Amino acid sequence: MSILVDRNTRVICQGITGAAGAFHTRACLEYGTQMVGGVVPNKGGTTDENGVPIFNTCAEAVKSTGATATMIFVPPAFAADAVLEAADAGIELIVCITEGIPVLDMVRTRRFLDGYRGVRLIGPNCPGIITPGACKIGIMPGYIHKPAEHSESRRAVGIISRSGTLTYEAVWQTANMGIGQTTCIGIGGDPIRGMSFTDCLVLFNADPETDGIMLIGEIGGTDEEEAARFIGNHVQKPVAAFIAGRTAPPGRRMGHAGAIISGGGGGAEGKINALREAGCHVADTPGELGTTMAQALGMQ
Protein backbone atom coordinates (compact mmCIF):
# COMPACT_ATOMS: atom_id res chain seq x y z
CA MET A 1 0.00 0.00 0.00
CA SER A 2 1.02 3.66 0.02
CA ILE A 3 -0.02 7.08 1.23
CA LEU A 4 -1.17 10.12 -0.76
CA VAL A 5 -0.29 8.87 -4.28
CA ASP A 6 -0.68 5.62 -6.23
CA ARG A 7 -1.11 4.32 -9.80
CA ASN A 8 -4.48 6.06 -10.12
CA THR A 9 -3.26 9.55 -9.19
CA ARG A 10 -3.82 11.99 -12.05
CA VAL A 11 -1.26 14.80 -12.05
CA ILE A 12 -0.86 18.17 -13.76
CA CYS A 13 2.22 20.41 -13.86
CA GLN A 14 2.00 24.15 -13.30
CA GLY A 15 4.85 25.68 -15.26
CA ILE A 16 5.10 22.73 -17.66
CA THR A 17 6.76 24.69 -20.48
CA GLY A 18 9.69 25.95 -18.42
CA ALA A 19 12.99 24.05 -18.61
CA ALA A 20 12.57 22.38 -15.21
CA GLY A 21 8.84 21.72 -15.65
CA ALA A 22 9.32 20.11 -19.06
CA PHE A 23 12.28 18.00 -17.96
CA HIS A 24 10.63 16.63 -14.83
CA THR A 25 7.26 16.13 -16.50
CA ARG A 26 9.06 13.86 -18.97
CA ALA A 27 10.81 12.02 -16.12
CA CYS A 28 7.50 11.50 -14.31
CA LEU A 29 5.88 10.21 -17.50
CA GLU A 30 8.75 7.79 -18.05
CA TYR A 31 8.34 6.55 -14.49
CA GLY A 32 4.69 5.75 -15.17
CA THR A 33 2.98 8.68 -13.49
CA GLN A 34 -0.32 9.73 -15.06
CA MET A 35 0.70 13.22 -16.19
CA VAL A 36 -2.59 14.37 -17.68
CA GLY A 37 -2.05 18.08 -18.26
CA GLY A 38 -0.11 21.26 -17.70
CA VAL A 39 -1.03 24.82 -16.78
CA VAL A 40 0.53 27.89 -18.39
CA PRO A 41 -1.47 31.14 -18.80
CA ASN A 42 -2.12 32.09 -22.44
CA LYS A 43 -0.92 28.72 -23.75
CA GLY A 44 -4.18 26.84 -23.35
CA GLY A 45 -5.12 24.61 -26.27
CA THR A 46 -1.52 23.69 -27.09
CA THR A 47 0.61 20.74 -26.01
CA ASP A 48 4.06 20.58 -24.44
CA GLU A 49 7.09 18.81 -25.91
CA ASN A 50 5.89 15.54 -24.35
CA GLY A 51 2.45 15.79 -25.98
CA VAL A 52 0.73 16.71 -22.70
CA PRO A 53 -2.24 19.10 -23.15
CA ILE A 54 -1.84 22.59 -21.73
CA PHE A 55 -4.58 24.66 -20.09
CA ASN A 56 -4.78 28.32 -19.15
CA THR A 57 -5.92 27.66 -15.57
CA CYS A 58 -5.97 24.89 -12.99
CA ALA A 59 -9.76 24.98 -12.98
CA GLU A 60 -9.82 24.20 -16.71
CA ALA A 61 -7.25 21.43 -16.26
CA VAL A 62 -9.17 19.78 -13.44
CA LYS A 63 -12.47 19.98 -15.29
CA SER A 64 -10.97 18.44 -18.44
CA THR A 65 -8.65 15.81 -16.95
CA GLY A 66 -9.98 14.95 -13.50
CA ALA A 67 -6.59 15.73 -11.98
CA THR A 68 -6.29 15.38 -8.21
CA ALA A 69 -2.62 16.36 -7.81
CA THR A 70 -0.26 19.00 -9.16
CA MET A 71 3.45 19.69 -9.16
CA ILE A 72 4.55 23.32 -9.27
CA PHE A 73 7.61 24.54 -11.18
CA VAL A 74 6.87 28.25 -11.46
CA PRO A 75 9.27 31.07 -10.42
CA PRO A 76 9.36 32.03 -6.72
CA ALA A 77 7.47 35.31 -7.20
CA PHE A 78 4.44 33.47 -8.59
CA ALA A 79 4.59 30.17 -6.70
CA ALA A 80 2.36 31.12 -3.78
CA ASP A 81 -0.38 32.22 -6.19
CA ALA A 82 0.04 28.92 -8.05
CA VAL A 83 -0.52 27.01 -4.81
CA LEU A 84 -3.69 28.94 -4.07
CA GLU A 85 -4.97 28.57 -7.63
CA ALA A 86 -4.55 24.80 -7.35
CA ALA A 87 -6.36 24.68 -4.02
CA ASP A 88 -9.19 26.83 -5.37
CA ALA A 89 -9.55 24.41 -8.31
CA GLY A 90 -10.15 21.53 -5.93
CA ILE A 91 -6.79 19.78 -6.26
CA GLU A 92 -6.23 17.57 -3.23
CA LEU A 93 -2.43 17.23 -3.28
CA ILE A 94 -0.20 20.17 -4.16
CA VAL A 95 3.52 19.48 -4.51
CA CYS A 96 5.49 22.73 -4.71
CA ILE A 97 9.07 22.13 -5.85
CA THR A 98 9.98 25.82 -6.20
CA GLU A 99 12.61 27.15 -3.81
CA GLY A 100 13.25 30.74 -2.80
CA ILE A 101 9.61 31.67 -2.19
CA PRO A 102 9.45 34.74 0.11
CA VAL A 103 8.61 33.68 3.67
CA LEU A 104 5.82 36.25 3.96
CA ASP A 105 4.20 34.79 0.82
CA MET A 106 4.15 31.37 2.49
CA VAL A 107 2.78 32.79 5.75
CA ARG A 108 -0.17 34.22 3.82
CA THR A 109 -0.55 31.05 1.76
CA ARG A 110 -0.70 28.82 4.82
CA ARG A 111 -3.36 31.05 6.35
CA PHE A 112 -5.52 30.82 3.24
CA LEU A 113 -4.97 27.07 2.85
CA ASP A 114 -6.49 26.52 6.29
CA GLY A 115 -9.80 27.41 4.66
CA TYR A 116 -9.58 24.59 2.11
CA ARG A 117 -10.63 21.25 3.58
CA GLY A 118 -9.04 18.16 2.14
CA VAL A 119 -6.13 20.03 0.53
CA ARG A 120 -2.60 18.92 1.38
CA LEU A 121 0.56 20.85 0.48
CA ILE A 122 4.00 19.25 0.23
CA GLY A 123 6.84 21.79 0.15
CA PRO A 124 7.85 24.30 -1.01
CA ASN A 125 11.59 23.82 -1.62
CA CYS A 126 11.19 20.05 -1.71
CA PRO A 127 11.96 17.06 -3.96
CA GLY A 128 8.36 15.85 -3.93
CA ILE A 129 6.79 12.47 -3.29
CA ILE A 130 7.10 8.99 -4.76
CA THR A 131 5.34 5.67 -4.31
CA PRO A 132 7.85 3.23 -5.83
CA GLY A 133 6.69 1.57 -9.01
CA ALA A 134 3.45 3.56 -9.10
CA CYS A 135 3.70 7.35 -9.05
CA LYS A 136 6.42 9.99 -8.91
CA ILE A 137 5.64 13.69 -8.45
CA GLY A 138 8.70 15.92 -8.34
CA ILE A 139 12.41 15.49 -8.87
CA MET A 140 13.31 12.29 -6.99
CA PRO A 141 15.45 9.79 -8.95
CA GLY A 142 12.93 7.00 -9.45
CA TYR A 143 15.39 4.21 -10.25
CA ILE A 144 16.80 3.96 -6.72
CA HIS A 145 13.41 3.27 -5.12
CA LYS A 146 12.25 -0.26 -4.44
CA PRO A 147 8.63 -1.42 -4.00
CA ALA A 148 8.04 -3.75 -1.06
CA GLU A 149 7.19 -6.67 -3.33
CA HIS A 150 10.60 -6.37 -5.00
CA SER A 151 12.59 -6.20 -1.76
CA GLU A 152 14.50 -9.20 -0.47
CA SER A 153 13.12 -8.84 3.05
CA ARG A 154 9.52 -8.21 1.93
CA ARG A 155 9.62 -5.32 4.39
CA ALA A 156 8.85 -1.71 3.54
CA VAL A 157 9.24 1.62 5.28
CA GLY A 158 7.90 5.11 4.84
CA ILE A 159 10.49 7.88 4.57
CA ILE A 160 9.93 11.52 5.58
CA SER A 161 12.71 14.06 5.15
CA ARG A 162 13.45 17.77 5.24
CA SER A 163 16.53 17.20 3.09
CA GLY A 164 16.27 16.19 -0.56
CA THR A 165 19.75 14.69 -0.80
CA LEU A 166 19.39 12.74 2.42
CA THR A 167 16.04 11.43 1.18
CA TYR A 168 17.86 9.82 -1.74
CA GLU A 169 20.59 8.51 0.55
CA ALA A 170 18.02 6.91 2.85
CA VAL A 171 16.26 5.30 -0.10
CA TRP A 172 19.51 4.00 -1.58
CA GLN A 173 20.71 2.55 1.72
CA THR A 174 17.43 0.92 2.71
CA ALA A 175 17.05 -0.57 -0.77
CA ASN A 176 20.57 -2.01 -0.53
CA MET A 177 19.63 -3.49 2.86
CA GLY A 178 16.77 -5.36 1.16
CA ILE A 179 14.14 -2.99 2.51
CA GLY A 180 11.50 -1.48 0.21
CA GLN A 181 9.64 1.78 0.56
CA THR A 182 5.89 2.32 0.60
CA THR A 183 6.06 6.08 0.00
CA CYS A 184 8.85 8.66 0.32
CA ILE A 185 8.05 12.30 1.05
CA GLY A 186 10.42 15.25 0.97
CA ILE A 187 8.59 17.84 3.06
CA GLY A 188 11.05 20.63 2.28
CA GLY A 189 13.49 22.76 4.19
CA ASP A 190 11.75 26.13 4.39
CA PRO A 191 10.60 27.51 7.77
CA ILE A 192 6.98 27.83 6.55
CA ARG A 193 5.77 24.81 4.61
CA GLY A 194 2.89 22.43 4.12
CA MET A 195 2.82 18.93 5.59
CA SER A 196 4.88 18.40 8.73
CA PHE A 197 6.59 15.31 10.09
CA THR A 198 3.60 14.68 12.32
CA ASP A 199 1.12 14.95 9.44
CA CYS A 200 3.06 12.26 7.57
CA LEU A 201 3.53 10.09 10.66
CA VAL A 202 -0.24 9.93 11.13
CA LEU A 203 -0.65 8.52 7.62
CA PHE A 204 2.24 6.06 7.79
CA ASN A 205 1.18 4.83 11.22
CA ALA A 206 -2.25 3.97 9.78
CA ASP A 207 -0.89 2.27 6.64
CA PRO A 208 -1.00 -1.52 7.17
CA GLU A 209 1.83 -2.21 4.72
CA THR A 210 4.31 0.27 6.18
CA ASP A 211 6.45 -1.79 8.57
CA GLY A 212 8.58 1.06 9.87
CA ILE A 213 9.25 4.77 9.42
CA MET A 214 12.42 6.75 8.78
CA LEU A 215 12.48 10.41 9.78
CA ILE A 216 15.28 12.67 8.56
CA GLY A 217 15.38 16.07 10.18
CA GLU A 218 17.82 18.90 10.62
CA ILE A 219 18.58 21.84 12.85
CA GLY A 220 16.10 24.69 13.07
CA GLY A 221 12.45 24.83 14.08
CA THR A 222 10.60 22.45 16.39
CA ASP A 223 9.07 19.94 13.95
CA GLU A 224 11.31 17.11 15.11
CA GLU A 225 10.51 17.63 18.79
CA GLU A 226 6.78 17.72 17.98
CA ALA A 227 7.19 14.56 15.94
CA ALA A 228 9.02 12.90 18.83
CA ARG A 229 6.11 13.64 21.15
CA PHE A 230 3.68 12.15 18.65
CA ILE A 231 5.85 9.07 18.17
CA GLY A 232 6.13 8.49 21.90
CA ASN A 233 2.38 8.78 22.41
CA HIS A 234 0.88 7.29 19.26
CA VAL A 235 3.19 5.53 16.79
CA GLN A 236 3.07 1.75 17.03
CA LYS A 237 5.81 1.06 14.46
CA PRO A 238 9.61 1.14 14.71
CA VAL A 239 11.10 4.51 13.84
CA ALA A 240 14.65 5.30 12.74
CA ALA A 241 15.85 8.89 12.59
CA PHE A 242 18.75 11.13 11.70
CA ILE A 243 19.31 14.82 12.46
CA ALA A 244 21.60 16.80 10.17
CA GLY A 245 23.58 19.82 11.32
CA ARG A 246 25.13 18.67 14.60
CA THR A 247 28.27 20.78 14.02
CA ALA A 248 26.52 23.91 12.74
CA PRO A 249 27.41 27.09 14.68
CA PRO A 250 24.46 28.91 16.31
CA GLY A 251 23.02 31.79 14.30
CA ARG A 252 24.32 30.65 10.93
CA ARG A 253 21.93 29.34 8.28
CA MET A 254 23.10 26.06 6.83
CA GLY A 255 21.69 25.34 3.37
CA HIS A 256 17.95 25.46 3.97
CA ALA A 257 16.14 28.62 5.01
CA GLY A 258 14.74 26.76 8.02
CA ALA A 259 18.07 25.27 9.11
CA ILE A 260 19.19 27.82 11.68
CA ILE A 261 19.70 27.59 15.43
CA SER A 262 18.40 30.67 17.20
CA GLY A 263 16.97 31.75 20.51
CA GLY A 264 18.43 28.74 22.27
CA GLY A 265 16.24 26.32 20.29
CA GLY A 266 16.41 24.21 17.19
CA GLY A 267 19.71 22.52 18.02
CA ALA A 268 20.58 19.01 16.93
CA GLU A 269 21.23 17.54 20.37
CA GLY A 270 17.81 18.56 21.69
CA LYS A 271 16.11 16.93 18.71
CA ILE A 272 18.21 13.77 19.00
CA ASN A 273 17.48 13.44 22.72
CA ALA A 274 13.74 13.95 22.15
CA LEU A 275 13.68 11.26 19.47
CA ARG A 276 15.67 8.79 21.58
CA GLU A 277 13.40 9.39 24.56
CA ALA A 278 10.45 8.59 22.27
CA GLY A 279 11.99 5.20 21.49
CA CYS A 280 13.48 5.99 18.07
CA HIS A 281 16.71 4.47 16.80
CA VAL A 282 18.88 7.47 15.90
CA ALA A 283 21.73 7.22 13.39
CA ASP A 284 24.91 9.11 14.27
CA THR A 285 26.01 9.65 10.66
CA PRO A 286 24.35 9.72 7.22
CA GLY A 287 26.23 6.53 6.36
CA GLU A 288 24.24 4.63 9.00
CA LEU A 289 20.73 5.37 7.76
CA GLY A 290 20.13 1.92 6.27
CA THR A 291 21.68 -0.09 9.11
CA THR A 292 19.80 1.96 11.71
CA MET A 293 16.49 1.30 9.94
CA ALA A 294 17.34 -2.40 9.73
CA GLN A 295 18.09 -2.45 13.46
CA ALA A 296 14.80 -0.73 14.22
CA LEU A 297 13.00 -3.42 12.18
CA GLY A 298 14.83 -6.16 14.08
CA MET A 299 16.74 -7.31 10.99
CA GLN A 300 20.15 -6.95 12.68
SS (H, E, C) the chain: CCCCCCCCCEEEEECCCCHHHHHHHHHHHHHCCEEEEEECCCCCCCECCCCCEEECCHHHHHHHHCCCEEEECCCHHHHHHHHHHHHHCCCCEEEECCCCCCHHHHHHHHHHHCCCCCCEEECCCCCEEEECCCEEEECCCHHHCCCHHHCCCCEEEEEEECCHHHHHHHHHHHHHCCEEEEEEEECCCCCCCCCCHHHHHHHHHHCCCCCEEEEEEECCCCHHHHHHHHHHHHCCCCEEEEEECCCCCCCCCCCCCCCCCECCECCHHHHHHHHHHCCCEECCCHHHHHHHHHHHCCCC
Q: How far is residue 120's CA from residue 69's CA, in Å, rounded to a whole number? A: 10
> Do residues 186 and 128 lie in contact, with contact meaning Cβ atoms separated by under 8 Å?
yes
Known active-site residue 256:
yes
Q: How far is residue 256's CA from residue 219's CA, in Å, rounded to a whole number? A: 10
Catalytic residue among 24, 145, 234, 256: 256
The catalytic residue positions are 256
